[in-house]
Every structure is written in C-alpha cells, then in structure tokens.
Structure 1
Amino acid sequence: MKVLLTGSTGYIGRRLKQKLIQNSDIQLRLFVRNKKSISIKIPKEIEVVEGNTFDKDSLKKALKDVDVAYYLIHSLNSDDYKNLDKISAENFIEIAKECKVKKVIYLGGLGVKNEHTSKHLLSRLETGEILSSCKEVQTIWIRAGVIIGSGSTSFEIIRNLTEKLPIMTTPKWVLTKAQPIAVEDVLKYLEQSLYLEEKENLIVDIGAEQLQYKDMMLQTAKALGLKRILIPLPFLSITLSSYWLNLFTPVPFKVAKELIEGLRSEVIIQNNNAEKYFPNIKPISFIDSVKKAVDEIEKHQVISRWSDHAGTIWDKDHIKEIADAIFIDRKEVDITNIPKENIYKSFMSIGGEQGWFDYDFLWELRGIIDKIIGGVGLKRGRRSQDELRIGESLDFWKVVDIKENERLLLFAQMKLPGSAWLEFKIEDNKFIQSAYFYPRGVLGRAYWYILVPLHYFVFNNMVSSIVKRAKQM
C-alpha cells in the first residue's frame, strides 16, 4: 500500500510519521514544503516530495500512484487561513481524484455548525466537507476535540494555567463540555483507518469521557499533585481571556484568541462510529492521558510540539534577506585549539532550560515585554535540550537552518519593528556569531540604536560563554 503523509512536520504528523515508518505493510511518501525540515533519521527508502497544496504540479507528483493519503494540513498561522484552507482542500481532492487515489484520511475538529461556532472550527468543518464531496475518492473524516499529549496546544494551556495559578478566576467557558482524547489514541484511529474496508465516506467522532474544562483543570491539578481553586466569573470577555492565556501560557495572543472563541461551543461526539468501526480501540481517561504527557516531559521524550510548524518563514532561503540586513553585530573568536564539534554542541544547546548565559534576566525581561504586547515570549522553551530540528521553536526564535558542525540560524519571532536573525557559524578556525537586523522605518532604526549598549554586553558574553562551555566539554 502506497501512502502519502502531508503535514509530517506538524504536531500530529510528526508522531504519525514515526508510526507509519515502522509499518512494514506500507510504502511511505512524505509531502513537505522544505526537505530540510525532515529529520535526518528517517530511513532512505522513505520518499520525500517537496511542494505545497497550492501548487498543483507538486501535488500531482506527490499523489501519483498513491493508494491512501493523509490530509493533516491547516493554515491557522495565516490571517486568511479560512480561505487558504478552502483552496488547499479543493486542490488536494481534485488532484487526488485525477491520480485515482482510493482513500483520503483527514483529521478535523469535533463540533456542529450554529451561531456560536468559531471561525476556526467552521474552517475545519468546511475542509472536511470539501474532502468528502468527491464520490470517486473515499474520505474518512476523523473528528477530535481537545487532544491531550506532551506538547499539544490544549495540554500546554491547561498545564501552565494549573501550575502557575493556585486560585483562578475563570470565564464562563470553563463550564463548556468537551470530550478530550489522548494523542496516542488519535494516532491509533488514524493508522487503523488505513485498513477500513468500508467503501462509503465516513465521519468518525472520537473522544474519551465527557468533561467540562473546569473538570479538566481540576483533574490536571490532581495528576500534578496540586490543589487548585476555580472561581468562574461571567464578565470575562473573549479578548480578556485571550490576554490571560497569552500571559500565563506559551501560546501567543492570536492563537489564544482563536482557541477561546472555539470554547464557546461544545465539542462532544455526535455519532458512535468509533465504537462501530474501531471496537478494539478503548480511549484512555483524561487523567491518565495527562499523567502520560507529564511523564514524557519529565523523561525528555517529547516527539513534537504545537509550535513545531508555526509559520512558513523557515521554508525560504534566507541568504538574500540576511545580505540585505542594514545592521549587523558580528563577533569572531579563534578556535584553533578547540574541537569544532564541541563549539557546535555548545551553541546547539543554547536557550530553553540552559538559558542565555549571564544576561539571562535581560532575555527574560524581553520575553515578558513580548508577551504583554501579544508576542510568543520565551516560555515556548525548546522541545529537547540535546537536539534541535529545522522548523521548531527555541524560546522566541524559530530554527531556520542547521548544518552539522557548521551552522545554526535562528529567526526572531518576537514582536519587532523589523526582521532579525541570530547566526552561529564555524568557518575554518573561527567561531562567528552574527546578529542581523532589517529595520522597518524610523522606529526600527531607533529600536536598534537604543539597544546597542545592551547588545554589547549580551552578545560579547554569549560568544565567550559558548567558547568557554566548549572548552569544558
């Protein structure tokens, strides 16, 4: 069975990819925007096609001779995501039909259309309807609500609120009902959908027990060994709730607002097709899924995170953009007597729990300011302290390029009056650290000049600390 996996660098896609690679029944092909975003650990026999769903030629190449295609694509990070999702789904099913694909498996969201349905959920529902509209291609539409797993958006929000706030004044949406499900169970439904012999289109609603969001927070507190008090307040608006999440969780304001709007609607199962067609899958309880997620975090076994594929800035070649940078802060150190691998390991472990050396407090302050103005802040941290992948987040940076024992390039995702990059590079016997900034207007130039004194201390300390750590290895 030849299987195409889209969205393989996203939260669900990266985990599903690991499962499918181990499945000897299938021949796997990946469809990605940028081949560099694929882990170098994948087997050589896995075919990788570069392109996107807005380019029909690349879609034809990806879907050629495919039996089953997974559709795990969403454009939430774009302002025009609803329209983009529509075009993407239409292109995909059109080319799937042309290539005589037998089955499309789509993961969407639980919910029904009514006056309270959020724009985000409507987009997910519309995508499912478009994919299901083609009679020649069977669509299995798996619908999940709150997905609980290490690194998932829902889990990160609930965990951060529960850990940081002993007493929470909460909006009335905490009384909304949902049916959460463990990410491992979602993956089981997706993988077993390959073997369903049903020929008609199917909508399969999945989930564990029915809970209010208040219950989820209290059960999360119990799993973490904490006691928490929730005080619902009816007057907290969507915007205020979004700022609340933005400040106390790693989720930026834009994403928080979309999620909060969705919390007005119940996301509960509307059919019994999960039991009917997947009788061997018994979803684990909410509290067990929380315990499993916490265990993965504590053991540093987080496979993917919600922020892994936030935006497409890392899809592009940054050579020209960096060359056009107006302001550059460059530091060079002779490393003749230090193994290059040590320098590489040292700068690859920057950020996250290890922080940013002696001026960590300044980075923390910048992260707090960024959160206040609706940015991503520092709290995203990093998935693993030992490993980085192209496309994933590192505090308020995005990893855009990695060359082993040679280079790490980071793009700034903090709120800035311009564009910024931070590069660590090994060239001959020199270690070169460069900060690039392309200002936007007068404000951007003023921003750079104001920070020049701080940059002097921060960047000098950073380059010397990286070298010092490399010497100690």
Structure 2
Amino acid sequence: MKILLTGANGYIGRRLKQKLLSQEVSLRLLVRNPKSLDVSVHQEAEVFQGDTFDLQSLERALKGIDVAYYLIHSLQAPNYRELDKQSAQNFLNAAIKCSVKRIIYLGGLGVKEHASEHLLSRIETGEILSSRPELIQTIWIRAGVIIGSGSASFEIIRHLTEKLPVMVTPKWVNTLAQPIGVDDVITYLDSAKDLKSSQNLMVDIGSETMTYKEMMLSCAKALGLHRIILPLPILTIKLSSYWLNLFTPVPYNVAKSLIEGLSSEVVIQNENAKEYFPHIHPSSFQESVHKAIHEMENNQVYSRWSDAGGGVDLWEEQHTHDPSTAILMDRQRIPLDGISKEQLFRTFCSIGGKEGWFGYDWLWKIRGGMDKLIGGAGLNRGRRDTHSLRIGESVDFWRVEDLIPNERLLLRAQMKVPGKAWLEFKLQDDEFIQTAYFYPRGLWGRLYWYLLTPVHYTVFRNMIRSIYQKAKQTP
C-alpha cells in the first residue's frame, strides 16, 4: 500500500507518521519544509516538498498513491475558512486526477446548524472531500475533545486546573462533549486505511459523555487537587478568550476559536465507529488523562498542539526575510577556548521552559506577561522536551526555525513585536556567536528597538556568558 500523509508535522500527524513507519507500507510525506523532519524519517519515507496551494507539488506527491491522509487546517490565518475550502478542493481534484483510491480526513464532531465558525470550517472541509463519491472514497473521522500530552484541549484543562483553586467560568462548562484519547484517534486513523468498504463514511468517535466542568474536576482529581468551579452566565466569549489566553498556553486568536466552539455540543451522531471498527475500545477520559500526565512527567511528549503545521505563515513568513537582512542587531562573541562545540550546543539547546533563559528570568516573565495581555503566545507554552529540539516546534514565545547539530540554533520570535525578530546561537571556527536580529516595521519598530537597547545589551551579554559558564561546568 502506498500512503501519502499531509500535516506530518502537526500534533496528530507526527504521531500517525510514527505509527505508519512501524508498518510494512510505502509512506510518502508532503511537507513545506523538509528540514523539519528528522534525518531518520528521510531514510524511511519519501519526502516531497510542497503544499496544497501548489498544484504541481501536490500532484507530484499524490501520483501512484492508494490512500491519502488529509490532516491540514489553517486556523492561525485570519481568513482560515476560505483557505481551508480552497485547500480541500485542490486536494480532492488532485487526488481524483492521480487516481487515489481513498482519502482519510480527521474533522470535528458537531452539527452544522449550531457550529461555530471554526467547527463549520472543519465540516465544510469534510463535505468538500466527500463530494465526489463516484470517483473517490472518503472516510471522514470526526473527533471532539482530544486528550493527550501536548494536545490543546488537555493543556487548557491542565493549566486552568493547576493554576486556579477556584474557577469562575462561563456557562459553557455545562456543555456536553465526548472526549477521546489521542492514542485512540491514531488507532482509528490507522485502521481506516485497511477498512473493507468502498462507500463514503462519516465515523464519529469518542468515549463517555461529559460536561467540560466534569472534565476539569476529573483532571484535578488525577492531579491530586481539589477545585471549585463557579459558572457565571455573564462571562462573554471575548472575556472567556482573554481568560484562556492569560492562564493557558494558547494565544488569543486560538482561544477565541475554541471558546466559540464550546457553546455547541460535540457528541457522537452515528454508530459507525462500533459498526466498522468493533475491535477498537476507546479509553475512558480518566485513563487518557493519567497517561498524558505520565508522559509529561517522564519527558515523553512526542508532539504538541503548537508544532508547526497549523498556519499558512509558518513557512512563507519565516522565509520572507532572512535574519542576515535584518537592519538592527545585537551580537556577542566568546572564543571557545577549549570548550567543545558539543558541550556548548547541548547547553544553548536547553534554553527556555523549565531551564529558563540563563539569567534575568524575571525580565523574561514580565515580557511574557505583557505579551499575553496583548494576545500573544507568552511563556506558558514552555517546550516539548527539556533536552532535545526539532525544527518547527515552540520554545516559550519562540519557534525553532533552523537547527544544525553542533553548529547552529535559530529561533524566531512569536511574541508581539513591531517587526520580525530572531535569536541565533552559532558555533563558527573557534568562536561562540550569539546574535539577536530585528527587522523593524515602520517608525514604531525602530523606536521599540532603540528604547530597549540597554535592556537587550544587559540581557544578551549575560546570556552568552551564562551559557558559556554552564557548558564549561558540564562534563
């Protein structure tokens, strides 16, 4: 079987990719940035560069494919609904042209008449992909709240539960949903490729029916915490979105889309999961939470909701300006003086998350708090793993844009700034070079940089020295 996987760098895509690589199938990946994949993946699968808006690259990737997974969405883009529809239509047309036998799509539970704009976009995508049953089969799997280490739903529930002993919430906490563990989602997606059926199918999946309030209290119990939840009908979508933005890792635009969707029930509308996948028995909510907590505590989070792949800007915008074109910069240098490049590389790759920013963490926290107040990512996202990094994943309010072992780490700022900013750590010849680049937007961008120059100089000068000293003490 020849399989194409799109969205291979996303939360679900990364996990499904590992599942498929462990089987005897011919796997092909369509990604915007091939460098974002591990070297081992390039050895085990075919990697095609492109996306669903580049028709030539899309058709090349679909040529000779039997089953194509569609795990794409554009939530982080302002016009995501139109982009999603165009992307799905392009994919359907190309799949038909290339004689693909089956499309497998993961969408969201919900009823179209009561859906939020975000959920409506997911439903419209499914309708487009399912619109030509006489030419291609589409298996449309629909899930609601996905629970797993690194999932947006679980991180929101966990952060609220851990940080707030008493939660004042909007009335949506009493909305019904059927959560499902991420491992069960992967099992359904994997099994769908082998399904002995030729007709279009919509398969709703989930475990027990619960309210969001019950989910939060159940999560608190798993964490050994006692929490009180007080629903208030006066809290609006906008206020609730700011609330999530401040106390959880999700930025305001994502929080708003999620909150709008929480007003509608996301429960199973058909019994196709039991009929066509009788061998799959979804874990309970409590079991999924315990597993997610265990993976977090043991540094085994394989993918996160903030992994690259969710927005159109993650590739195009990052390469609009190369850091070398930035007109403002702060550069610090230290000679290696006997310290190995491996030691320094390991040290500066541990930056962010629990390790902090090698000094002046209180200033970074203030900057993160300010970022949250204006709808940015803030520091709450942390990092997936305390030791390793990969291209495309988040580190607090930065994203890894380039990573060359024992040579370079390039981070691109995702905090709210009047321009574009990068932070680069580089090992070149016998020097350790740390550079903060800034490409200002207009007059305010330049004022922003010059007003903060004293702070930048102090923080970045201390940072390179602290990294150097820590590497020196590391065996």
The yes-or-no answer on 1:447 pairing with 2:448 is yes
Confirm or deny: 8 A CA contact 2:332 2:434 kept in the other structure: yes
Q: Which runs of 5+ in 2 are unaligned?
A: none
Distance in 1, matches of 2:311 and 2:70, equals 18
Partner of 1:406: 407
Distance in 2, matches of 1:42 and 1:444, equals 40
Amino acid at match of 2:87: S
Partner of 1:170: 169
Alignment of 1:73-88 (within 5 A): 73-88=72-87
Partner of 1:331: 332
> What's the CA shift string for 1:383-415, capped at 9, x where partnerless?
001111100000000110011111011110001
- Using the size of structure 2 for normalisation, the TM-score is 0.98
Confirm or deny: 8 A CA contact 2:336 2:432 kept in the other structure: yes
- Structure 2 residue matching 1:44: 3-state secondary structure: helix
Poorly superposed stretches of 4+, deviation over 4 Å: 316-320
Alignment of 1:9-24 (within 5 A): 9-24=9-24
Partner of 2:429: 428
- Structure 2 residue matching 1:357: 3-state secondary structure: coil
Amino acid at match of 2:215: M
RMSD: 1.1
Confirm or deny: 8 A CA contact 1:331 1:460 kept in the other structure: yes
- Of residues 131, 134, 137, the one that matches 1:133 is 131
Q: CA deviation at 1:336?
A: 3.4
> What's the CA shift string for 1:194-220, capped at 9, x where partnerless?
111111000000000000001001111
Q: CA deviation at 1:446?
A: 1.3
Distance in 2, matches of 1:302 and 1:217, equals 21
Distance in 1, matches of 2:277 and 2:422, equals 48
Partner of 1:340: 341
Partner of 1:359: 360
Amino acid at match of 1:128: G
Confirm or deny: 8 A CA contact 2:129 2:138 kept in the other structure: yes
- Structure 2 residue matching 1:41: 3-state secondary structure: helix
- Structure 1 residue matching 2:360: 3-state secondary structure: helix
Partner of 1:213: 212
Confirm or deny: 8 A CA contact 1:314 1:398 kept in the other structure: no
Percent identical: 62
Confirm or deny: 8 A CA contact 1:117 1:265 kept in the other structure: yes
Partner of 1:242: 241
Partner of 2:463: 462
Q: CA deviation at 1:450?
A: 1.3
Distance in 2, matches of 1:243 and 1:446, equals 28
290-299 or 449-458, which moves further after superposition?
A: 449-458
The 3 A distance-change label for structure 1 pair 91 and 261 is same
Confirm or deny: 8 A CA contact 2:77 2:312 kept in the other structure: no
Partner of 2:68: 69
Partner of 2:280: 281
Q: Which runs of 5+ in 1 are unaligned?
A: none
Partner of 2:315: 315
Confirm or deny: 8 A CA contact 1:103 1:137 kept in the other structure: yes
Distance in 2, matches of 1:123 and 1:263, equals 15
Amino acid at match of 1:432: I
Partner of 1:117: 115
Confirm or deny: 8 A CA contact 2:21 2:44 kept in the other structure: no
Alignment of 1:121-200 (within 5 A): 121-134=119-132, 135-200=134-199
Confirm or deny: 8 A CA contact 2:74 2:80 kept in the other structure: yes
Confirm or deny: 8 A CA contact 2:74 2:312 kept in the other structure: no
Confirm or deny: 8 A CA contact 1:382 1:393 kept in the other structure: yes
- Structure 2 residue matching 1:281: 3-state secondary structure: coil
Q: CA deviation at 1:418?
A: 1.1
Pairs aligned (count): 471
- Structure 2 residue matching 1:461: 3-state secondary structure: helix
Partner of 2:99: 100
Confirm or deny: 8 A CA contact 1:7 1:13 kept in the other structure: yes
> What's the CA shift string for 1:241-273, capped at 9, x where partnerless?
000000000010000000000011100000000
Distance in 1, matches of 2:189 and 2:372, equals 35
Partner of 1:27: 26
- Structure 2 residue matching 1:265: 3-state secondary structure: coil
Partner of 2:2: 2
The yes-or-no answer on 1:418 pairing with 2:435 is no
Confirm or deny: 8 A CA contact 1:399 1:411 kept in the other structure: yes
Partner of 1:255: 254
Partner of 1:293: 292
Confirm or deny: 8 A CA contact 2:77 2:313 kept in the other structure: no
Confirm or deny: 8 A CA contact 2:222 2:289 kept in the other structure: yes
> What's the CA shift string for 1:265-313, capped at 9, x where partnerless?
1000000000000001010110110010000000000000000025455
Confirm or deny: 8 A CA contact 2:402 2:411 kept in the other structure: yes
Amino acid at match of 2:13: G
Amino acid at match of 1:45: E
Distance in 2, matches of 1:407 and 1:88, equals 34
Distance in 1, matches of 2:82 and 2:409, equals 35
Distance in 1, matches of 2:119 and 2:166, equals 30
Amino acid at match of 2:473: Q
Q: CA deviation at 1:323?
A: 2.7
- Structure 1 residue matching 2:412: 3-state secondary structure: strand
Partner of 2:56: 57
Distance in 2, matches of 1:419 and 1:306, equals 23
Distance in 2, matches of 1:298 and 1:187, equals 22
Distance in 2, matches of 1:205 and 1:117, equals 16
> What's the CA shift string for 1:402-446, capped at 9, x where partnerless?
111110111100011111110001110011100011111221111
Distance in 1, matches of 2:86 and 2:321, equals 30
Distance in 2, matches of 1:311 and 1:472, equals 40
> What's the CA shift string for 1:106-154, capped at 9, x where partnerless?
000000112x411001100000000001121100000000000000000
- Structure 1 residue matching 2:40: 3-state secondary structure: coil
Distance in 1, matches of 2:270 and 2:126, equals 16
- Structure 2 residue matching 1:303: 3-state secondary structure: coil
Amino acid at match of 1:324: T
- Structure 1 residue matching 2:268: 3-state secondary structure: coil
Amino acid at match of 1:376: A
Partner of 2:39: 40
Partner of 2:377: 376
Distance in 2, matches of 1:426 and 1:15, equals 32
Amino acid at match of 2:119: L
- Using the size of structure 1 for normalisation, the TM-score is 0.98
Confirm or deny: 8 A CA contact 2:66 2:100 kept in the other structure: yes
